[in-house]
Structures are given as C-alpha cells and as structure tokens.
C-alpha cells in the first residue's frame, strides 16, 4: 500500500518546528493575560457572608470565615482578595490583624495596596501583621518601608527583618544595603547573609575593605557565606583592623577557610595571599593561618620552626593549631627543647588540643593523651587546667580520672568543675548513678563556687540546668 | 512438593496456626500478588483458597485465606463467604473479604444477611461493610434502622454518612433521633455526608445536611463538641454558597 502524502495528526507528539512552538507560546501568553471571568452572584453572596463573619462573627465564626479567606479554593480569585483587603480599614485592630494573617496565607498580592498603609499603623499587632504580609507577598517597592521598620525597636524590627529575609526582591534589598546609613547597613548585611544572596558578595567584599563603619558588619556577613573570591578583601580588612574588630575579622577568615562552601579553595587562597605579603604583615597574619591549619600552612610552620630567627613564631603558630593532628610534633618539641618558654607553650597547646574531637583517636585515646599531658605538668595550675579540660571527654573513665583529684586541695575545685560538667549529661550520670551521686556529695562539701553548688544540687535531684541562667 | 512451592504453601496453610512459622506461606503470598494481573491464575487460586475457607481448618488459616480472597476474590467466592456472615468467630473476616469483591453479588449477600443478624454486633459489622462498599442499594434498609434500637440506629446513621448518596442525605436530614447517642451519630453523619457531597459537587444535597446540624446546635452552643459541630456546619453552608 502506498504511503499517504500527508502525516496523520498525533495529538501526543510534540511539535518540533520553531514556528509551531512560537505559536503555542503566543497562545499561552495571550491566555494568561485574558481578564479573569467575573465572580457569579452566588460567589459574591458567599464572599459577603464570609466577610460579614470576619467583621462581626464571634470567635468561632470568625475562625470559620478566616479559613475560607485563607483557602483560595472555595472563594478563589483576586476579586475576593481585593474585597477582603478593602474591608480592612473598617475593622477593629484585633480583627484587622487576624484578617491580615489570613490574607498573607492566601498568598495573593492583590491585597498589597490596601495593606501598605497598615504597615505604619498605630496598633502594633496590625503593624506586625502587615509587615509580615509585605515580607511574604511584597514587591521591590515595599523594601524601603521594611528597611525603615528594621531600624525601629523590638518586635517591629524583628518582623521587618524576617520580612526582608523573605521578600522576593533581591535587587532592591541589595540596593538598600548599599545605600543605607551605617547602623542600618549592618543589619542589612546580616540580612543579605540570611538570604544567602551570592550576588551581594562583591558588595560585602568592597565594604569589608572600605570604610571602618561598614567593615565589621560586612566581615560578620562574609563569615557566614563568604568564599575564596572574597578572601583577599577579608585579609585586607583584618590587617586594617585593631582590637576587638581584628579578633572578629580573624574569626571570619577562619570560618570561610574551614567551614565555608569552598573552604579548601579559600584556605589555598589564604596561603597564597600570605606568600605575597611583606614579612611584617606576614607576622600579623600567621596566627590566622595557624587557626585554619592544613598542609599548606603546616609547610610554612615547619619551615619557620626549623629556622632560629623564626622558630618562636612557628611554635606559637603550632600552638594555635585547630586540631590534634599536630600532637606528635608538639610532644617532640616539648621533649627536645630546654627552653622553659617553649616547653610551656607546647604544654599549653597540648592541654588545649588533647581532648578535641579527632578522627584519629577515640575517647580512650584522647583520655590517654590527656593523662600523658597531665604527667608533663610541673605546675599545679597546669594540672588544674588538664583536669578542667577532661570534661570534654564525656565518658565514665574521664569521670573517674577527675574524681580522683577531689582529695587534693590544690586540684579539688578543678575536679569539682569537671564532675559537675560531666554530671550535666543525664545519660552518663544515670548510667553510673551511685558514683555520680557520691561525687556530687563531695562537690557540695568541697566547692566554694556557688554555681557549681547549685548545679550539683540540681543534678542530685534529677533536675536539669539551663546553661543560659546567670548564677 | 519441593518442586511446587505453591502446593507446599497450601499444605502448610491447612495446618497453620497463629505463632507458627509463616515462611512456608510466602509462595502463596507471591502467587496472589502475581495473580492480580492474570485472570486464569486468579480463578485457580480463588478455588483453592475457598477450599481452605470451607474446610475444617484453623481460624488462622481461614483468616489468611480471606485476606487473599479480599485481593483476588470474585462473585465465585460470595456464597461461601456469605455463609459465615452470622458466625461469631468468622463474620469479621468474611466481611473483610466481601467488602472488596467487585460486583453486585457481594452487596446483595451483605444486605440479605443484615435482617437475619442475630446479634447487634453482627448487624453493626454488616452495616460497616455496606458503608465501606458505598452500597447505595442499602440506603432504604439503613434508613429504616434509624428508628431501631439505639446501637443499630447509631451505626445506621454513620453508615449513611459514609455512603453519602443524595438518597442517604435525605434520610439523614429527615432523621429525628430520640436519644443523645443517636443524635450525636446523626450529627456526625450529616457533616460527613455533607462534606462528601460538596466535594462531589452536589451542593443541593449537601446544603440541607449542614442546615440541619446548624439548626440543631443553635447560635450559642456551650459544649466543645457542639461548638465544633456549629463551626463545621456553618463552614459547610458557606462552602455551599461559594460553590453555587
């Protein structure tokens, strides 16, 4: 049978010609812009009934009505959103607030024109609900109002902050952050970090490297989501800063290089940047590198320790290492050196890193290292610090290690601290209840620290203790 | 027998009791799952399972047979299962299978067994199965039970609520319960029926149900339950308006 000269139409086959695809796109575009069908008389009647209950119904009926406002299915369409929003002005403040919450849940931006004036209402409940709605449904034009609100106090500022984090207006938020006064800019930089707005990173990097007023806030934001690309600006910011700002800058750089989204690349950038600095600036930056750690920094530190002129600097860097991977190096230096300052420096480092979580050692291994460190201590204050650090190892064996020092007057208070810290963990405490109860009795009889006494009393009674409480 | 795991399963089933090793029955489980797509295999399995139901097998064995008949049973199974609809021990599992068997025969068997049920528990179970089948033909007999003894009237109301046909709705609207227990069941059934009808687009049948509940609880209910009923009823009335 000869084939037909035309193709049978297959409704399930996608057209391939650009002209056909373009026609389909044009039809969909036109359909989306057709005016919605007006509501029926019955729908209007239903809408009026719902809004009458919102305005005048008792609490139960109001809840029923607000559920219908919320649920777009039964009264769908922008016509009802506009109707409901238009009734806002005539309601009491508490009803206004509830209707605003329902309109926010409804998700239709047709409510915005009627809601905007309420964002500066006198009644705080209404203001908060309106600000929350602007955050959820607002447009770029709403950003200035939210920025103004974020500089107010208390709940309004908090609501505006949440709104600025949520609003779909990234360009406007970025522009506002760029132009804001310092106090507001600091808040907006934090908000850019909450929004994880990667397009804001160049703005933050420029601010970190610029005016002192904006530097600290920019660095705080960069600490949260900065990348290798911002690192040079962050280092320049660090080198310009002093005092508390410098400490915060150090923490920000360490965060980007250790927990950031591209931490290995950031660490490599840091090391490369260090190599380009003159020696005076390198000396300032080295402690930051030491806190980052890693093989690149280790190579620098090893080289410095090997040279008499830079040995002390290298050892100080080693003592700042972020993990216990340098334990053997530190032990070796401590054993080999006759310099008491170097010995103490290495001992301090061991006390700090021995109990750190480390993939190389289990809890028993960490406790063994801590006990080894204890044996290296000559001074009671160093032994006391070892005993205090032991509570980072949450095991029964660590408890027995520290409990053994309750009878030593020079070390008893440190032992009390660690016993109380270990007893804070209910699972551990309950698994060895008799021993913990006896030790807590000794704490109560021995300690002079009111907070430890209070905590011991609570743990003996099976209660918990909120670390945020002030004694 | 080692070459025919299914035959071995049926042998194991014949002597199976609760607490026994279910491993030998796995071949039967697999065969039933495979048979859902094969009419010939289904019929053969169904016959063999019915033999277990009719035999002097343990309750556990019959229980398992009924679970499988629920999946692959047909009109062929109805007579054998219907025989057990008044059995104190086995009525529940017989209904369990009949609820899912397609075709009018299963509904007819359940409806026929309802007036003959000697105990209220049996009758309530049958009404529940008729409701699960959304058996419209059962509505007249259920409507008649609305004025029966209290446990049966309450169960009949709830069954009508689940069947949710316009005729069931009319029966519920017309109901005039004389006890609090039946009144509570009728109110719940009216709301459930109304919501089902509204979801199906039948506003005209749903609206009187919500109106009846709203009238019964009044404008200032004092109990938590009546407040909830008022909210459900008034919400239903609003939805009826909106969907018009």
- On whether any CB of chain A is under 8 Å from the CB of B204, the answer is no
Q: Is residue B108's pLDDT more than 70?
A: yes
Number of neighbouring beta carbons within 10 Å of residue A180: 18
Token pair in block for residue A154? 């208390």
> Quick check: B231 and A61 CB within 8 A?
yes
Among A39, A40, A42, A67, pick the best mutation site for testing chain B contact (most B Cβ within 10 A): A42
Number of neighbouring beta carbons within 10 Å of residue A273: 17
Quote the ipTM score: 0.82
pLDDT, one tens digit per residue, over B181-214 is 999 999 999 999 999 999 999 999 999 999 999 9
Query: For the purposes of burial, counting CB atoms within 10 Å of the CB of A79, is it exposed (0-12), middle (13-18) or buried (19 or more)?
Result: middle
* Shortest alpha-carbon distance between residue A137 and chain B (Å): 25
> Quick check: B241 and A45 CB within 8 A?
yes
Q: Which residue of A has its CA nearest to B201?
A: A74
* Shortest alpha-carbon distance between residue A41 and chain B (Å): 9
Q: Is residue A411's pLDDT more than 60?
A: yes
Does A71 or A32 have the greater pLDDT score? A71
The pLDDT score that the predictor gives to residue A73 is: 74
Q: Which residue of A has its CA nearest to B244?
A: A42
Among A46, A71, A73, A76, pick the best mutation site for testing chain B contact (most B Cβ within 10 A): A46
Which of A2-11, A281-290, B55-64 is predicted least confidently? A2-11
The DSSP element (H or E) to which B128 belongs, if any, is: helix B120-132
The pLDDT score that the predictor gives to residue B55 is: 83
Distance CA A424, CA A457 (A): 11
The pLDDT score that the predictor gives to residue A2 is: 39
Distance CA B240, CA B244 (A): 6
The pLDDT score that the predictor gives to residue A11 is: 47
Distance CA B61, CA A445 (A): 69
pLDDT, one tens digit per residue, over B1-54 is 557 999 999 999 988 999 999 999 999 999 999 998 888 889 999 999 999 998
DSSP line for B149-217: -HHHHHHHHHHHHHH--HHHHHHHHH----SHHHHHHHHHHHHHHHHHHHHTT-HHHHHHHHHHHHHHH
Find tokens 């952050």 and name the residue: A177
The pLDDT score that the predictor gives to residue A7 is: 41
A42 → closest Cβ in B227, B234, B244: B244
pLDDT-based confidence at residue A5 (cuts at 50, 70, 90): very low
CA A3 to mean position of chain CA atoms? 68
| pTM, rounded to two decimals | 0.77
Question: Which residues of chain B neighbour A43 with C-beta distances below 8 Å?
Answer: 242, 244
Arithmetic mean of pLDDT over chain A: 91
Q: Which residue of A has its CA nearest to B237?
A: A46
pLDDT-based confidence at residue A30 (cuts at 50, 70, 90): low
């Amino acid at each position: 049978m000869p084939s037909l000269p035309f193709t049978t139409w297959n409704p399930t086959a996608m057209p391939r010609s650009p002209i056909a695809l373009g026609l389909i796109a044009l039809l969909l575009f036109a359909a989306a812009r057709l005016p919605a069908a007006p509501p029926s008389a019955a729908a209007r009647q239903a809408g009026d009934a719902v809004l009458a209950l919102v305005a005048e119904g008792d609490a139960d009926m109001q809840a029923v009505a607000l559920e219908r406002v919320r649920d777009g299915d039964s009264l769908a369409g922008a016509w009802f959103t506009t109707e409901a929003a238009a009734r806002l002005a005539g309601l009491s403040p508490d009803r206004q607030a509830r209707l605003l919450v329902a309109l926010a849940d409804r998700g239709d931006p047709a409510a915005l024109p009627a809601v905007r004036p309420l964002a500066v209402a006198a009644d705080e409940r209404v203001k908060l609900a309106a600000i929350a709605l602007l955050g959820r449904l607002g447009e770029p034009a709403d950003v200035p109002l939210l920025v103004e609100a974020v500089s107010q106090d208390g709940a309004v500022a908090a609501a505006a902050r949440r709104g600025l984090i949520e609003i779909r207006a990234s360009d406007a938020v970025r522009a506002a952050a760029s132009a804001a006064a310092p106090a507001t800019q600091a808040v907006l930089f934090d908000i850019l970090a909450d929004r994880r707005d990667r397009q804001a990173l160049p703005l933050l990097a420029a601010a970190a490297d610029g005016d002192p007023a904006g530097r600290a806030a920019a660095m705080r934001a960069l600490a949260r989501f900065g990348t290798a690309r911002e690192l040079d600006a962050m280092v320049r910011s660090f080198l310009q800063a002093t005092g508390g700002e410098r400490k915060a800058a150090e923490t920000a750089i360490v965060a980007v290089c250790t927990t950031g989204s591209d931490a290995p690349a950031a660490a490599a950038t840091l090391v490369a940047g260090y190599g380009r600095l003159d020696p005076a600036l390198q000396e300032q930056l080295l402690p930051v590198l030491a806190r980052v750690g890693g093989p690149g920094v280790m190579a620098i530190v090893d080289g410095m320790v090997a040279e008499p002129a830079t040995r002390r600097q290298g050892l100080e860097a080693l003592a700042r290492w972020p993990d216990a991977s340098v334990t053997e190096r530190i032990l070796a230096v401590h054993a080999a050196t006759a310099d008491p300052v170097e010995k103490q420096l290495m001992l301090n480092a061991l006390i700090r890193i021995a109990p750190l979580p480390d993939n190389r050692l289990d809890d028993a291994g960490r406790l063994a290292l801590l006990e080894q460190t204890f044996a290296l201590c000559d001074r009671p204050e160093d032994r006391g610090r070892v005993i205090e650090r032991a509570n980072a190892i949450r095991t029964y064996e660590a408890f027995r290690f520290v409990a053994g020092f309750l009878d030593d007057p020079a070390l008893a208070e440190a032992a009390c601290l660690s016993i109380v810290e270990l007893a804070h963990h209910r699972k551990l405490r309950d698994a060895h209840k008799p021993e913990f109860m006896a030790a807590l009795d000794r704490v109560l009889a021995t300690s002079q620290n009111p907070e430890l006494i209070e905590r011991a009393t609570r743990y003996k009674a099976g209660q918990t203790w909120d670390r945020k409480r002030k004694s | 027998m080692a070459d025919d795991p299914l035959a071995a399963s049926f042998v194991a089933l014949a002597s199976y009791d609760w607490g026994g090793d279910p491993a030998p029955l796995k071949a039967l489980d697999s065969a039933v799952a495979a048979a859902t797509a094969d009419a010939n295999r289904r019929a053969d399995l169904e016959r063999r399972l019915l033999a277990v139901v009719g035999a002097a097998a343990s309750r556990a064995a019959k229980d398992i047979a009924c679970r499988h008949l629920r999946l692959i049973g047909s009109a062929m199974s109805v007579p054998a299962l219907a025989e057990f609809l008044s059995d104190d021990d086995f009525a529940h599992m017989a209904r369990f299978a009949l609820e899912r068997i397609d075709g009018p025969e299963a509904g007819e068997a359940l409806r026929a067994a309802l007036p003959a049920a000697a105990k209220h528990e049996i009758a309530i179970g049958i009404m529940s199965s008729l409701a699960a089948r959304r058996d419209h033909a059962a509505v007249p007999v259920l409507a008649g039970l609305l004025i029966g003894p209290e446990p049966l009237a309450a169960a009949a109301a709830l069954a009508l609520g689940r069947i949710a046909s316009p005729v069931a709705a009319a029966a519920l609207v017309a109901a005039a319960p004389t006890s609090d227990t039946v009144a509570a069941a009728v109110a719940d059934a009216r709301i459930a029926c109304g919501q089902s009808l509204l979801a199906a687009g039948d506003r005209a049948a749903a609206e009187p149900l919500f109106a009846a509940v709203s009238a019964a609880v009044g404008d200032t209910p004092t109990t938590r339950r009546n407040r909830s009923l008022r909210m459900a009823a008034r919400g239903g009335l609003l939805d009826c308006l909106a969907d018009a």
